[in-house]
Chain A
Amino acid sequence: MPRAMEPAEIERALAPVLPKVEKPGRYTGGELNQLVKDWDVVPTRVALVFPDVYDLGMSNLGLAVLYDILNRQPGVLAERVFAPWPDMEAALRRDGIPLFSLETKHALRDFDLIGVSLPYETLYTNTLNLLDLGGVPLRTADRRRDDPVVIAGGHATYNPEPMAEFLDAFAIGEGEDLILEVVAAVRAWRESGQERAALHHSLARIWGVYVPSLYCAHYAEDGSLERTTPLEPSVPARVIKRIVPQLPPPMTRFIVPYIDVTHNRVAVEIMRGCTRGCRFCQAGMITRPVRERSVDEIVDAIDEALRQTGYEEVALLSLSSSDFDEVLPLVRAVRQRFAGRHLNLSLPSLRIESFSVELMDLLQGEAHRSGFTLAPEAATERMRQIINKPVSTAQVLDTAREIYRHGWHTIKLYFMIGHPQETLEDVQAIADLCKQVLAVGREIVGGRAHVTAGVSTFVPKPHTPFQWVPCDTVEQIRAKQALLKRSLRGPGLKLNWNHPEETMLEAWLSRGDRRMGQIIEQAWRRGARFDAWQDHLRMDAWLAAFEATGLDPAFYTHRERPIDETLPWDHIDAGVRKAFLTEDYLWSLRGRTRVDCRERCFACGILPRFADLRRLNPGDVWECPEVRSPVRVPAEILSLTPA
């Protein structure tokens, strides 16, 4: 464990280190719009951690939003901490320098609260590494009264169990309001001088907060999970996810890095949630209900953010841009306000239809056109019915034709292999569809036409209708990828795929139970770091960790789970009922699809779960149709004056 160091000592120790590491600008802070508060007078100090390298952490909108919210509070300061790249980690360990915050160079252990962002599962070993480098005991049980409180939030935490031993609490759901309640609870606890258990109890009373140390997992003799139960009657049996009833105004004060990072841009979330109901999509299930921002609010936020940052790129983010009610007025308003300012505007996640091409054409105007992305996800009608993404091959080809006609030369097509019930014919169809799209392109732009196929491998995620299905084995994945590699050769075609090992790791971590924690720790101790980076993934460390703990990886990934099995995440309530997921899974087996649930409510459970909130936020504040109220007959307007 690194020794205690004051910020001035840390800075002195860094001086000879920084010139010798790769991209030292990752570790200096001091960027435009960074907020630095007086450490000695602010009572609650929060470290916001993104457990990957600066370049990715600075591109994460969630972290930026929380940084803004926390630093607006007079009694709170929030500073950033990212994962050091392996060369920097080696230097920190060699010189005994603790991991520090960018703003004031305080050691991680000096903060009151550490908030870790976990949008995906392959950040778990980095999280342990950061705590270790920062001088914070890894396990909650080993933390004393003066140690920081460590919490995590983000989509991966909808199955918190694999990381349960390492975190004091999880923030399940949306953090905008929750984070302030957590900060208040931590502050009150610090002032009270009580033991950590008192804090855990007060955190567990906050809507959306899961305190794993207050729950116990019981296993059957065959190793399957029997139930997860609270240790005390005062602790809720299920933790309901937190939502904000309406989206708060978008944040505009982005920190502008001095060095090139993954996304250098203003990002505005135009809408949260999705009504399409694709069965593989965890985000679509856990971010309900759908809430939109207004066109005026979005355009004003872009304007203000550009004034604050000078960025040349703007991204309008959502899970399904085409479903934004006012998408055409939005694109028109953005064009009108920002034309001629040399901006690169993007609107990702568009539906496969010619209207999307018109939208992009209008949005980008004269700007340079790189690639146009479509995500059919599957290439046969049968498969698309199973996953509930009913788009026809004709629609894909018609849309492709419009894209090439409107001046784009490259189309990126995103697919997944490993969907439930997939056969090699379904995989062959992916290659065939890519070639058909290329043929369309050749007719229009000749040899300049390109098709890039991005084929990832499906991992059944918690809280989705596919949560029970097994993952493809490495052999199955290899066979499918070999077929694609054979078929997708030749000029104009490019294929990207994920290594099967990455998929296995993602599956273990996202589908694991509480016992997975020891595997994560063992793998980390054996050198696993930066698991999301293909070049850094140490499969040997993971397999050795399974070996050492006696757990079977196939138990987590290749076993079809009985529909009545207790799942490790069953005590986490994402608002969508398990009965709905079960029904939707059965529908998928029969190839039955659902329409957009704006058109018709399928009773997923969101409305009864949040009935009180819905009553306070009626009409189109949420995109859910009004289900309870009787059909309204439009009132006749009577003229009181003779015509």
Chain B
Amino acid sequence: MAGPARQRYRITFSKTEAMRFTGHLDLHRTWERTFRRASLPLAYSAGFNPQPKINIGAALPLGCLSEGDLIDVWLESEVDPLQVESSLRLAAPPGIRVDEVRPIEPTEPVLQSMVRAAVFEAVSANLAALDEIDRRIGALIEAEHLPRIRRGKSYDLRPLIEEIRWDRATSKLWMRLVSRGGATGRPEEVLDALGLDPADFVIRRTGLVLSGPEEAQPG
């Protein structure tokens, strides 16, 4: 794991419209290139095929935007966080907005293992589709199981939905879904379960819910 000379930083960022259709692996590569353009001393793993030590909090479904997204990075030497922040802002592509950079303890748990839920907001221009929305949400919440099939595998969507609300004033569908290694609720699956076409919505993940350190695996 991170040697004593290595510094760890946590970056809060937003994924904006230009990168809406960039998948998780490609986002990873985009970050790697952003660090290289910023001339930050990115740390690499040891071994036959060294990889940059960056760690994205949670994968985002293709087509979603995000705010309050998190990524951890290890640098070979200590750099003033304000300098990290300003150089990343300059180097970031149009699809990434760097919001905050702060140093964190190298011994903190792995970022992914701390994420336990994610909050999504879905907005539709097509209000006609939303007529019966309150009733459908009620039915969804009351269901004990929501068996679904995704990519040929069956699973139960219901336990992955922690909370779901419909805000008529802003026509936003707000949901908090479980987001752990093996169990991740997907917003487009929830929309589909509500009888709505996900393609009619702009979905934004507005935050990740982190667990306390005692729940997560050590880093």
Q: Which residue of B lies closest to A307 (CB)?
A: B37
A120 contacts across to B, CB distance below 8 A: none
Task: Report the separation of the CA atoms of residues A16 and B124 in the bound assembly, to the nearest whole angstrom.
Answer: 11
Given contacts A16-B199, A258-B30, A342-B44, contact A310 B19 (CB under 8 A): no
6 smallest A-B Cβ distances: which pairs? A310-B33, A30-B18, A310-B36, A32-B93, A310-B37, A24-B21
State whether A258 touches B18 (Cβ < 8 A).
Answer: yes
CB distance from B117 to the nearest CB of A (A): 24
Cβ proximity bits B25-40 to A, threshold 8 Å, 1 near / 0 not: 1100110111111010
Given known contacts A30-B95, A312-B32, A259 and B26 CB-to-CB distance under 8 angstroms: yes
Would you call B21 and A310 a contact (CB within 8 A)?
no
Measured CA separation A264–B37 after assembly (Å): 15
Contact A32 B94 (CB under 8 A): yes
Structural contact, A258 and B33, CB atoms closer than 8 A = no
Most A CB within 10 A of own CB, among B18, B35, B39 = B18
Chain A residues with Cβ below 8 Å from B37 are 307-310
Nearest residue (CB) in B for A25 is: B21
CB-nearest residue of chain A to B25: A260
| Cβ contact of A31, chosen from B18, B36, B199, cutoff 8 A | B18
B18–A306 touching, CB < 8 Å:
no
Contact of B108 with A by CB under 8 A = no
In the complex the two chains form, is A368's CB within 8 Å of B48's CB? Answer: yes
Contact status of A256 and B33, CB under 8 A, knowing A30-B17, A30-B94, A30-B95 = yes
B129 to chain A, nearest CB (A): 12
CB nearest neighbor in B for A26: B21
- CB pairs A–B below 8 angstroms (17 shown): A19-B63, A25-B21, A25-B22, A28-B20, A30-B95, A34-B94, A256-B93, A258-B19, A258-B22, A258-B30, A259-B23, A306-B36, A307-B39, A310-B32, A310-B37, A310-B91, A342-B50
Q: Are A311 and B33 in contact (CB under 8 A)?
A: yes
- B49 interfacial by beta-carbon distance below 8 Å: yes
B172-199 vs A, CB cutoff 8 Å, 1 = contact: the mask equals 0000000000000000000000000011
Kindly state whether residue B200 has any CB partner on chain A within 8 Å.
yes
Q: Do the beta carbons of B18 and A28 come within 8 Å of each other?
A: yes
Given the complex of chains A and B, what is the CA–CA distance between A348 and B32 in angstroms? 26
Q: How large is the interface on A (under 10, 10 to 19, 20 to 34, 35 or more residues)?
A: 20 to 34
A332 within 8 A of B: no
Q: Contact mask A1-42 → B, CB, 8 Å, 1/0?
A: 000000000000000101110011100111110100000000
- A90 to B63: give the CA distance in the assembly, Å: 20
B-contacting residues of A (Cβ < 8 Å)?
Answer: 16, 18-20, 23-25, 28-32, 34, 256, 258-260, 264, 306-312, 342, 368
Interface string of B95-137 (1 = CB under 8 A from A): 1000000000000000000000000000000000000000000
Residues from chain A with Cβ under 8 Å of B62 in the complex: 24
Q: How far is the CA of A307 from the CA of B87 in the complex (A)?
A: 13
Q: How far is the CB of B56 from chain A (nearest CB, A)?
A: 15
Residues from chain B with Cβ under 8 Å of A307 in the complex = 37, 39
Which residues of A are found within 8 Å of B198, using beta-carbon distances? 19
B42 — nearest CB in chain A belongs to which residue?
A342
- Assess whether B35 is in contact with A310, with CB atoms less than 8 Å apart: yes
Smallest CB gap from A310: residue in B: B33
> Which residue on chain B has the smallest CB distance to residue A260?
B26
Q: Which of B29, B48, B52 has the most CB of A within 10 A?
A: B29
Q: Mark B192-215, 1 if CB is under 8 A from A, else 0.
A: 000000111000000000000000
C-alpha spacing A82/B139, complex, angstroms: 46
Most buried by B among A18, A306, A308, A310: A310
Given contacts A32-B94, A312-B33, 11 further A-B contacts (CB under 8 A): A25-B21, A25-B23, A28-B18, A28-B20, A31-B18, A31-B93, A256-B30, A259-B26, A307-B37, A309-B37, A310-B35
Which of B20, B25, B49, B198: most chain A Cβ within 10 A? B20
Nearest CB to that of A18 among chain B residues?
A: B21
Interface contact A28-B26, CB-CB below 8 Å: no
Nearest-neighbor residue (CB-CB) of B94 within chain A = A30
Alpha-carbon distance between A259 and B21 when the two chains are bound, in angstroms? 8
- Bound-state CA distance A253–B49 (Å) is 28
Nearest CB in chain A: distance from B73 CB, A: 14
| Residues of A close to B200: CB separation below 8 A | 16
* In contact, B22 and A259 (Cβ under 8 angstroms): yes
CB-CB under 8 A from A264, the residues of chain B are 29
Of all chain B residues, which has the CB nearest A30?
B18
Partner of B36, one of A20, A29, A312: A312
A20 CA to B95 CA, complexed, in Å: 21
Q: How far is the CA of A256 from the CA of B22 in the complex (A)?
A: 13
| Residues of chain A contacted by B22 (CB below 8 angstroms) | 25, 258-259
Chain B residues whose CB sits within 8 angstroms of the CB of A25 once the complex forms? 21-23, 26
* Nearest chain A CB to B96 CB, angstrom units: 10
Task: Contact check, B93 vs A258: say whether CB atoms are below 8 A apart.
Answer: yes
Write the chain A residue with the least CB distance to B201. Answer: A19
Q: Which of B30, B34, B198 has the largest count of A CB atoms less than 10 A from its CB? A: B30
Chain B CB within 10 Å, residue with most, of A28, A32, A256, A312: A32
Residues on A with C-beta less than 8 A from B32 are: 310, 312
Give the docked Cα–Cα distance between A389 and B52 (Å). Answer: 43
Q: Which B residues are CB-close (under 8 A) to A28?
A: 18, 20-21
Provide the bound-state CA to CA distance between A20 and B199, in Å.
7
Most chain A C-beta atoms within 10 Å of own C-beta, residue among B37, B39, B63: B37
Q: Which residues does chain B contribute within 8 Å of A309, judged by CB atoms?
A: 33, 37
Most buried by A among B48, B50, B62, B94: B94
Are B199 and A24 in touch, CB under 8 angstroms?
no
Query: With a CB–CB cut-off of 8 A, which chain B residues contact A32?
Result: 93-94
How close is A308's CB to chain B, nearest CB, in angstroms? 7
Shortest distance in angstroms between B215's beta carbon and chain A's nearest beta carbon? 34
B contact residues around A311 at 8 Å (CB): 33, 36
Please, how many angstroms separate the alpha-carbon atoms of A310 and B93 in the complex?
11
Closest A residue by C-beta to B33 = A310
On whether A31 and B94 interact (CB within 8 A), knowing A25-B26, A307-B37, the answer reads yes
Among B17, B34, B199, contact of A310 (Cβ-Cβ < 8 Å) = B34
CA distance A34 to B17 in the complex (A): 15
Rounded to whole angstroms, the CA-CA distance of A431 and B38 in the bound complex is: 50
Q: A31 to B33, alpha carbons, bound, how many Å?
A: 13
Which chain B positions have C-beta within 8 A of A16? 199-200
Least CB separation from A12: chain B residue: B125
Chain A residues near B52 (CB-CB < 8 A):
342
CA distance in complex: A29, B95 (Å): 11
Cα A259 to Cα B94 in complex, Å, equals: 14
* CB neighbours of A20 from chain B (8 A): 199
Name the distance in Å between A191's Cβ and chain B's nearest Cβ.
34
Please name the residue on chain A nearest to B125 by beta carbon.
Answer: A15
Q: How far is the CA of A32 from the CA of B19 in the complex (A)?
A: 11
CB distance from B173 to the nearest CB of A (A): 16
- Complex CA gap A533/B37 in Å reads 35
Give A515 to B44 CA distance when docked, in angstroms.
Answer: 59
CB distance from A599 to the nearest CB of B (A): 43
Chain A residues, Cβ within 8 Å of B91: 310
Q: Which residues of A contact B199 (CB under 8 A)?
A: 16, 19-20
B52 to chain A, nearest CB (A): 8
A368–B50 alpha-carbon span in the complex (Å)? 9
Residues of A close to B48: CB separation below 8 A: 368
Q: Is the CB of B36 within 8 A of A258?
A: no
